[in-house]
Each structure stands twice: as C-alpha cells, then as structure tokens.
Chains A and B, each alone.
Chain A
Amino acid sequence: MAAVPFAPVSHPSAASLISARGLTKRFGDFTAVDAIDFDVAPGESFGFLGPNGAGKTSTMRMIGCVSPISGGTLRVLGLDPAADGRRIRAQLGVVPQQDNLDTELTVRENLLIYARYFEIGGPDARRRADELLEFVQLADRAESEVEPLSGGLKRRLTIARALINEPTLILLDEPTTGLDPQARHLLWERLYQLKRRGATLVLTTHYMDEAEQLCDRLVVMDQAKIVAEGSPRELIERHVTREVLELRLPADDQAPLDGRFDGLEPLVERVEQRPDRVLLYTSDGEAAVERIHERGVRPESALIRRASLEDVFLRLTGRTLVD
C-alpha cells in the first residue's frame, strides 16, 4: 500500500468511511482517474474540486459502487465495493450530477418507491417521506408531478430521496450546478443542516465558493490527478497570499508587463497576467496599490479581494476552474 501523501485525517481515531489508495479508472486507453489517494473520516464534509473532465464523477461512481475500479484499492464503509456493493449501497445516499427523478410518479411517490428499493415500506416509508418533504420544504408540492418543478425544487427532491434510507454516507455530485443563486443558497443551507447533524458528506464541485461553504477538507483534482489537499483555508495559505489585487489596465495598454511589476517582493509575491486583467498576489493590497501608483501605473480599476480557491487552482494548474 502506498504511503499516505497527506496530513492525517482530522479524526485520527475514527476509522475512515472511505479509503482510496492508487484508485484508478480507465475507459479503454483513457485514464479518467489516475492513482489517487484519499480518506474520508466520519462526520466530515469532503470535497472534490476540479474543472469539467477532471474525473470527479468517475470517482464518485466508483465510491457509489456502480462503476468497477480499474486499479488500486477502495474501501467504502470498511467494505470492498467489488464484493459488497449491495451492502454498501444500502447505506449510501446518492445525489447524481444529472437529475434522475422518476418523472412518471409524483413527488411523494418518488420518495415512497425509493424507500421500497431499500426494502423500507409501509408506515416507516410514509413517515420518513413526510419528514423529508418538510426538511427540503416541498411538503406543499407532495402530490405534484415532478416534471413541472423548477431545477432547484427537483434538486431538493433528489436530496430528500437520497436521505430516505438514513444513509451513513451522502454522495453529492455537483449538487448545485446549473441552479440560480437563490436556489443554490437554499440548498447550501439544507446541506449545512445535514452537516451540523453529523452527516458525512462527499461532494464534487467546480464552484470554489461551494467548496469554501461546505467542505471541511477537499482535494483539488485536475486531469485525473489530485494536485492538492487540505482545508479551504490551508490551501489558500499554502498556495497563495492572503489578498489579491486585481488590476484592469486601459484597453490600449495590454502590452507585455515590461517589468512594471518586477521587484515588488516581498510585498507582492507573484504576478499573474490574465487576458483581461493582472493579478497581484500580496499580503497587503492597500500597500500594493500605493506602490504601483508610485511607479506610474494607472489602471482603469483596482480591486482588492481575499484570495480564494480559484486562485489556488490557477496557481496549481495555470488555468481557471470555470472557463
């Protein structure tokens, strides 16, 4: 077994709910997940942050025991997905990337039939369905058809459905992709409630704000590999500075930087030129603004903001998360 390349998980005493070593997924010659290692501890919110095509869904499907692994080892709830898929799935709640609600049944029927798939029936299923409809604020739509629901409501129903078996581990693949900001915030709030109640969440996202909101710990994935691991704060501290100064230069001033931002260390740690702006990674944005004014640089606008996971991703891969 390969050595653990990361700091130990935050609950060193508790057994991992998921443990992956050299986990690999190949489709023919193409490697979608390339020998990744990670552990998820009970009660933790763990994220995979990465752009489209990074291999997040492929990883989630292996954890969900619907896609056989091509290499390495994977243990979920202490069991081997290849041998104990049914037993593992009985304890998982899965929110897939693409909605797959039963559009031929009503909202409540969706929960009741899903309960039946887990061999939960009768009054238990009905009680649980009603509680969950309350929890995701869909009780007034219980008898509605699924199709006319908005994207946000469908997502909420999908989350309710994933909780019908009181899962030990909840897998959410891009839970808010494609939703409007209001719907996203409501979902985040619900997921945060779950987290507070001690649920273990594993989620993927290509939104850094989602990762910052929901993840205790995350790995950054790019091109089938894990490129960094830590809490959002740790990642930012480790890979970028506290603040970022974003400068927009006048349209006729897109020339090479001509050394205009050279020699600002240690105040400015790094300069990144993007197509439409220049980013100065700095411990003190105000001071950096003053220094470039002294040098006679006259940007159209100067914005000081906190560094984010987006900056971490840019730093590690040279690309932005959402293109």
Chain B
Amino acid sequence: MTGLTAAQPGMRVLQRNLWVYRRTWRGSIFTSFLTPILFLLAMGLGLGALVNQGAGAGGFGGVTYLAFLAPGLMAGSAMQTAAFESSFPIMARIQWRRNYEAMLATPLRVRDLLVGELGYIGFRLLTTAGVFFLVMLAFGVVRSPLAPLSVPAAVLTGYAFSPLIVAFSATQKGDTTGFNMLFRFVIMPLYLFSGSFFPIEQLPGALQALAWLTPLYNGVALTRGLVLGTAEPLTAMAHTAVLVAYAGLGLALARRNLGRRMVG
C-alpha cells in the first residue's frame, strides 16, 4: 500500500466506475461522441450554409457559423454529459442499487465517494471533449495556439454543473420526477439559450443579463474564445472564476447533502 493510495481512497470508487465503463463504453459512444458530432455537421454545415448567406459572417464575429457553433457545442455537450452522469447513476448508487451503502460499510467515507464520482465524471468529460476537439481540428475550425486549452475549459464547464447536480440527486427520493424537471426546465433551456447556437446579444436585455450569470454561458464564452483565439485574458479569467465558483458551491452542497442522505 503506497502513501498515495492510502491517501486517495476515492480512487477506489473511480476504479469501480471504470471497471463498469470497461463493459459499457460501447453503449455510450452514440450519446457521448456521435450525437454532438452529428449536431455539429447538421447545424454547422447544413444550417450554417443558410445562416452565412443571411447574416453574413459578421454576425458571428467574423467566422463561419460552423466555427462559431463548434466550441459552443463542445461546452454544451460537456454540460449534458455532466448532468446525465451526476443524476440517474448517482441516484442508482444511492437508492436503486445501494452501492454507496455497501461502500460506506468499508473504510470509505462520503468524501471518498465524491472524489471517486467526480474523478470518473472528469474522465468522461475529458474523453468526450478530447474527441470533440479532434473533430474540430479535422474541420479546420481551430484558429489559435491556445485552442487545446478548450478541452480543460469544457471539463471545467462540466464541473460547474456536476457537483451541484450530485447535491440535487442526493435530495431526490428515488423517483425521476425531479430529474425530468431538471432536464426540461434547466438543462434544456440553458443548452439552447446560453450562446452555443447563437450569440446571447440576440436575447432580450433582461435575459442577456441572466445568461451572463449561468455557468453554461461562461463555459461557452471561455471555450469559444480559446478555440477561435478571441479570448481576452481578463474576461477569460472572469469566466473561469464563475465556473470555479459554481463548482466550489456544488462541492460544498454535494458533501453536505450526500452526508445527510447516507449517514443518518
């Protein structure tokens, strides 16, 4: 037993999830990798042809619609991956399959469960964002030497959601109503209106201000700035700070809620 493994019991939970993933990854290819790419092709190329004619590239900061859309989708997909992985599977491990109960009967603690789960979600975010980045490279969308930083930016975007949604999942009593509401009334509107598909300047003023506060808008703006080379250091730092703040808040709430749920 090395010092590192002794200090990182959460890695055991990550390992468990990776064992399961080793068996199930094929099933996740479509939703995690292919769907965002199909979206990119259909909208970026198909719809983009019309959009570029109409608005002209000027509407998208001097780039094609495909180039505008791609980093937005990268961040949006990160949110969706994070939201999915932090909801139903967590509920399953709390209540439907009772994995956490089994884990907490060992030396593992609630904080170790969180470290493991967030580590696994990080792995999922990193692989999906990484593949998406390669696709962007292939389509010639990438225009900045800083562009590879869009991968950690997308991961951070996912992390702005993941712990908050884990915290929410820990309060759910085993039926899926809460999750359906979450996806319908939070995740889907954010996905559509946070600047992934069109600039938020198109939104009415009040909604624009609201969008500013959302984690996804900040994630999209950060990712896009890095891919297209338009990022200003100060704004990029502000976006990062917002994302980190959401992640930190989520972490505190997740720890509290999961503790209350599992240790009673």
Contact = CB atoms under 8 A, between A and B. Distances in A.
A89 B106 contact: yes
B255 interface: no
| SS class, residues of chain A in contact with chain B | loop
Contact of B99 (A102, A116, A119): A102
Interface residues of A, number: 30
23 contacts: A64-B105, A66-B104, A66-B105, A66-B262, A67-B263, A86-B107, A89-B105, A90-B106, A90-B107, A94-B105, A100-B97, A100-B102, A102-B97, A102-B99, A103-B97, A104-B23, A104-B97, A113-B16, A116-B15, A117-B9, A117-B106, A118-B106, A119-B12
Interface in B63-107: 97-99, 101-107
A109 interface: yes
Question: For this complex, into which size category does the number of interface residues on chain B fall?
Answer: 20 to 34
Given A113-B15, A113-B19, A100 B98 contact: yes
Nearest to A94: B105
A101 interface: yes
Contact of A104 (B20, B101, B102, B106): B20
A98 interface: yes
A178 to B, nearest CB: 16
A14 B64 CA distance: 80
9 A-B pairs with least C-beta separation: A100-B98, A117-B106, A94-B105, A100-B102, A104-B20, A86-B107, A116-B12, A90-B107, A100-B101
B264 A67 contact: yes
A118 B16 CA distance: 13
A102 B105 contact: no
A101 B102 contact: yes
A43 interface: no
A307 interface: no
Interface in A99-132: 99-105, 109, 113-114, 116-119
A116 B106 CA distance: 10
Contacts of B99: 100, 102
Contact of A105 (B5, B20, B103): B20
B108 interface: yes
A279 to B, nearest CB: 41
B1 interface: yes
A66 B107 contact: no
B94 to A, nearest CB: 11
Contacts of B12: 113, 116-117, 119
A227 B9 CA distance: 42
Interface of A: 27, 64, 66-68, 85-87, 89-90, 92, 94, 96, 98-105, 109, 113-114, 116-119, 161, 165
Q: Which of A27, A66, A67 has the most CB of B within 10 A?
A: A66
Nearest to B23: A104
B181 interface: no
Interface string B1-43: 1000110010010011001100110000000000000000000
Interface in B99-120: 99, 101-109
B108 to A, nearest CB: 6
Nearest to A117: B106
B20 A86 contact: no
A86 B111 CA distance: 12
Contacts of A165: 106
Contact of A119 (B1, B109, B263, B264): B1
Interface in B111-158: none
